[in-house]
Amino acid sequence: THAKQSLDAAVDAFRATLALPWDGSERPQPAECAQDMLTALNEGSEIDLAGYTDEAIGVTSQLLERVTTMPWLWTNRGYNRMLRYKRHGSLGDLDGAIADFEQALAGTPAGDPHVYRRAVNMSWASEERFDRLLARGEQFVLVEIDGIERWLGPRDLVSPISLLESLLAPDNGRPPASSQDRPEMKRNLANLLTKN
């Protein structure tokens, strides 16, 4: 029903559960409860319930202070920062989202198919920043592939272009992209190429 009182009650219940003394033998484990709590917070954040986006960012930030090796946490915080940016327009949220998506990508193992969704997120946020700043003050970067200069241009275009092209290559050494991620990567790549 997306009723706010139900979601509030779920978040309160997860918070109370996480505050209990844990001895390590329980099922589910605290990390699973924290993930379920974030799912509930994300539900509220996506439908713009008051306070949910800020709390989702805050809870994820607290978890990242203790565990930095879970790429989905970086993705979660980046996604909520993008939601807050879309609503309030803070460049700090946009910069933070890009940094989070880059951290998620950096921490994704080579065989993990989530790399494609994380690349879509990074390219989406980078394109948003390029559109917002119109390349003013942008760092220009040069991408070389096998010693050949491939792309030179604003970082918010060139970095995601290079990443998406490498992931869309048929011999990228990773599991195949899903039927949803592949078209999104192609669309994002086309959008970026028209601006470079």
pLDDT in tens, 23-66: 778 777 778 888 899 999 999 999 998 899 999 999 999 989 88
Say which residues have a Cβ less than 8 Å from residue 180's Cβ, sequence separation at least 6: none
- Full DSSP string of 135-187: TTTPPEEEEEETTEEEEEEEHHHHHHHHHHHHHHSTTSSSPPPPTTHHHHHHH
C-alpha 131/C-alpha 157 separation (Å) is: 10
Q: What is the mean pLDDT of residues 59-83?
A: 93
For residue range 104-129, list pLDDT tens digits in order: 999 999 889 999 999 999 999 999 99
Single-letter amino acid code for the residue at 81: R
Instruction: Please report, rounded to a whole number, the percentage of residues in the chain having pLDDT higher than 90.
Output: 60
C-alpha 10/C-alpha 14 separation (Å) is: 6
148, β-bridge pairs: 145
From residue 151, give the alpha-carbon distance in Å to each of 121, 139, 160.
21, 13, 11
C-alpha 48/C-alpha 9 separation (Å) is: 17
C-alpha 9/C-alpha 23 separation (Å) is: 25
Higher pLDDT, 69 or 105: 105
Write down the pLDDT at residue 195: 87
What sign results for the dihedral spanned by CA atoms 61, 66, 68, 72? negative
Q: Is the peptide bond before 160 cis (omega within 30 degrees of 0)?
A: no
- Six-digit token pair at 111? 């065989």
C-alpha 8/C-alpha 195 separation (Å) is: 43
Give the relative orientation of helices 52-66 and 30-46 as an angle to the nearest 10 degrees.
150
Write down the pLDDT at residue 148: 64
Q: What is the mean pLDDT of residues 75-87?
A: 97
What sign results for the dihedral spanned by CA atoms 187, 188, 189, 194? positive
At residue 174, the 3 state secondary structure works out as coil
Rounded to two decimals, the pTM is: 0.86
Contact between 78 and 95 (Cβ < 8 Å): no
